[in-house]
Amino acid sequence: MSDTATDRAVNRSQMMVSDEVAIQITNMNKWYGTFHVLRDINLTVYRGERIVICGPSGSGKSTLIRCINRLEEHQAGQIIVDGTELSSDLKNIDKIRSEVGMCFQHFNLFPHLTILENCTLAPIWVRKTPKKEAEETAMHFLEKVKIPEQANKYPGQLSGGQQQRVAIARSLCMKPRIMLFDEPTSALDPEMIKEVLDTMIELAEEGMTMLCVTHEMGFAQAVANRVIFMDQGQIVEQNEPREFFNNPQSDRTKLFLSQILGH
Amino acid sequence: MAEAASHTTSYVRDKMLPQAEPPTLQKGAIKWMRDNLFSGWLNSILTIVSIYVIWAVVSDLFPWFANSIWRADSLTQCREIRNATVGADAPAACFAVIVDRWQQLLFGFYPREFYWRPILSLVVMLTALMPVLFPRLPRAALLWSVSAPFVIFFLLWGGSVWFPLAAALGFVIGAVAWRLVSAASGALLGVLAAIILPIIYWLYFAAPLADGLAGSVPLGLEAVPSKQFGGFMLSVVIGISGIVLSLPLGILLALGRQSPLFIINKLSVGFIEIIRGVPLIVWLFTASLLLNYFLPPGTNFDLMLRVIIMVTLFASAYIAEVVRGGLAALPKGQYEAADALGLDYWKSMRLIILPQALKIAIPGIVNTFIGLFKDTTLVVFIGLLDPIGLTNAIRASTDWNGIYWELFLFIALMFFVFCFSMGRYSLYLEKKLRREHR
How high is the ipTM of this complex?
0.89
Give CA torsion, residues A14, A16, A22, A26, to 10 deg.
Answer: 10
B chain contacts of residue A108, beta-carbon cutoff 8 Å: 331, 333-334, 336-337
Residue B5 lies in a domain: no
Residue B81 lies in a domain: no
At B87, is the pLDDT very low, low, confident or very high (cuts 50, 70, 90)? confident
Chain CA centroid to CA B264, Å: 29
| CB-CB contact of B194 with B186 (8 Å) | no
Question: Which residues have C-beta within 8 Å of that of residue A130, sequence separation ≥ 6?
Answer: A124
Residue B241 lies in a domain: yes
Residue B118 lies in a domain: no
Minimum Cα–Cα distance from B332: chain A residue: A108
A chain contacts of residue B343, beta-carbon cutoff 8 Å: 121-122, 125-126
Question: Which residues have C-beta within 8 Å of that of residue A184, sequence separation ≥ 6?
Answer: A103, A104, A105, A164, A167, A168, A196, A200, A212, A214
User: Does B233 lie in the same domain as B212?
Assistant: no
b (16+ CB within 10 A) / e for B98-131: bebbeebbbbbbbeeebeebbeebeebbeebeeb
Query: What's the confidence (pLDDT) of residue B133?
Result: 85
CB–CB of A122 and B341 under 8 A? yes
Of B336, B342, B437, the CB nearest to A122: B342
The distance of A223 to chain B (nearest Cα, Å) reads 25
The distance of B348 to chain A (nearest Cα, Å) reads 10
**Beta strand spans in B187-329 (E):** 220-221
Count CB-CB contacts under 10 A for residue B420. Answer: 11
The distance of B305 to chain A (nearest Cα, Å) reads 38
The distance of A160 to chain B (nearest Cα, Å) reads 12
State the Cα–Cα distance between residues B242 and B171, nearest whole angstrom: 19
Q: Pick the residue of B341, B352, B360 with the most A CBs within 10 A to test the interface with A by mutation.
A: B341
b (16+ CB within 10 A) / e for B387-408: bbbbbebbbeeebbeebeebbe
State the Cα–Cα distance between residues B96 and B73, nearest whole angstrom: 7
Q: What secondary structure letter does DSSP report for B110?
A: -
Q: Is B368 exposed, middle or buried (CB count within 10 Å of its CB: 0-12, 13-18, 19+)?
A: buried
Residue B266 lies in a domain: yes
CB–CB of B334 and A110 under 8 A? yes
User: Does B296 lie in the same domain as B244?
Assistant: yes
- Given a cut of 80, whether residue B311 has pLDDT beyond it is yes
Query: For residue B413, what are the CA distances in angstroms to B61, B417, B419, B420?
Result: 16, 6, 10, 10
Of A90, A106, A174, the CB nearest to B333: A106
Check if A163 contacts B (Cβ < 8 Å). no
Cα atoms in the Cβ-side hemisphere of radius 13 Å centred on B376 = 32
User: Does B321 lie in the same domain as B296?
Assistant: yes
Domain final residue, candidates B181, B199, B221: B221
Q: How many residues appear in chain B?
A: 438
Among A169, A163, A64, A189, which residue's Cα sits nearest to residue A108?
A: A163
- What does the pLDDT look like over B199-252, one tens digit per residue? 888 888 888 888 888 888 778 888 888 888 888 999 999 999 999 999 999 999
CB–CB of B340 and A71 under 8 A? yes
Query: What's the confidence (pLDDT) of residue A12?
Result: 47
CB–CB of A121 and B333 under 8 A? no
User: Does B296 lie in the same domain as B195?
Assistant: no
DSSP B315-373: HHHHHHHHHHHHHHHS-HHHHHHHHHTT--HHHHIIIIIHHHHHHHHHHHHHHHHHHHH
User: Does B387 lie in the same domain as B251?
Assistant: yes
Residue B426 lies in a domain: yes
Of A98, A108, A126, the CB nearest to B337: A108
Of A97, A101, A112, the CB nearest to B339: A97
B chain contacts of residue A104, beta-carbon cutoff 8 Å: 333, 336-337, 340
Mean predicted lDDT score pLDDT of chain B: 87
Of A69, A106, A122, the CB nearest to B343: A122
User: Does B337 lie in the same domain as B351?
Assistant: yes
State the Cα–Cα distance between residues A237 and A229, nearest whole angstrom: 5
b (16+ CB within 10 A) / e for B338-356: bbbbbbbeebbbebbbbbb
- Given a cut of 50, whether residue B376 has pLDDT beyond it is yes
At B4, is the pLDDT very low, low, confident or very high (cuts 50, 70, 90)? low
At B303, is the pLDDT very low, low, confident or very high (cuts 50, 70, 90)? confident
Among B87, B386, B84, B437, which residue's Cα sits nearest to residue B238?
A: B386
Query: For residue B3, what are the CA distances in angstroms to A110, B15, B16, B17, B22?
Result: 57, 12, 13, 13, 22
- What does the pLDDT look like over B207-217, one tens digit per residue? 888 888 888 87
- Given a cut of 70, whether residue B297 has pLDDT beyond it is no
Domain final residue, candidates B47, B66, B85: B66
Check if A121 contacts B (Cβ < 8 Å). yes
B chain contacts of residue A126, beta-carbon cutoff 8 Å: 341-343, 347
Of B342, B359, B437, the CB nearest to A94: B342
Of A71, A112, A154, the CB nearest to B356: A112
State the Cα–Cα distance between residues A219 and A215, nearest whole angstrom: 9
- Given a cut of 80, whether residue B7 has pLDDT beyond it is no
Report the interhelical angle of A160-172 vs A190-205 (nearest 10°).
20
Check if A131 contacts B (Cβ < 8 Å). no
User: Does B316 lie in the same domain as B384?
Assistant: yes
User: Does B44 lie in the same domain as B189?
Assistant: no
Under 8 Å CB pairs connecting chains A and B tally to: 72
User: Does B350 lie in the same domain as B266?
Assistant: yes
The distance of B362 to chain A (nearest Cα, Å) reads 15
Q: Which segment of A52-66, B44-58, B105-119, B134-148 scores lowest on mean pLDDT?
A: B134-148
At B137, is the pLDDT very low, low, confident or very high (cuts 50, 70, 90)? confident
Query: What's the confidence (pLDDT) of residue B3?
Result: 52
Minimum Cα–Cα distance from B350: chain A residue: A125
CB–CB of B337 and A110 under 8 A? yes
Q: Give this prediction's pTM.
A: 0.84
Residue B372 lies in a domain: yes
pLDDT by residue, tens only, chain A of 263 residues: 444 444 444 444 455 678 889 999 999 999 998 999 999 999 999 999 999 999 998 899 999 999 999 999 999 999 999 888 988 888 889 889 989 999 999 999 999 999 999 999 999 999 999 999 999 999 999 999 999 999 999 999 999 999 999 999 999 999 999 999 999 998 888 888 998 999 999 999 888 999 999 988 888 988 899 999 999 999 999 999 989 999 999 999 999 998 887 65
* Domains: count for chain B: 3
Structural domain span for residue B40: 33-66
User: Does B426 lie in the same domain as B330?
Assistant: yes
User: Does B431 lie in the same domain as B289?
Assistant: yes
State the Cα–Cα distance between residues B73 and B399, nearest whole angstrom: 7
Residue B72 lies in a domain: no
State the Cα–Cα distance between residues B99 and B406, nearest whole angstrom: 11
User: Does B382 lie in the same domain as B246?
Assistant: yes
Check if A92 contacts B (Cβ < 8 Å). no
Question: Which residues have C-beta within 8 Å of that of residue A21, sequence separation ≥ 6?
Answer: A44, A45, A46, A47, A80
| Long-range pairs, B427-432, Cβ under 8 A, ≥24 | B429/B362, B430/B359, B430/B362, B430/B363
Domain final residue, candidates B221, B249, B265: B221
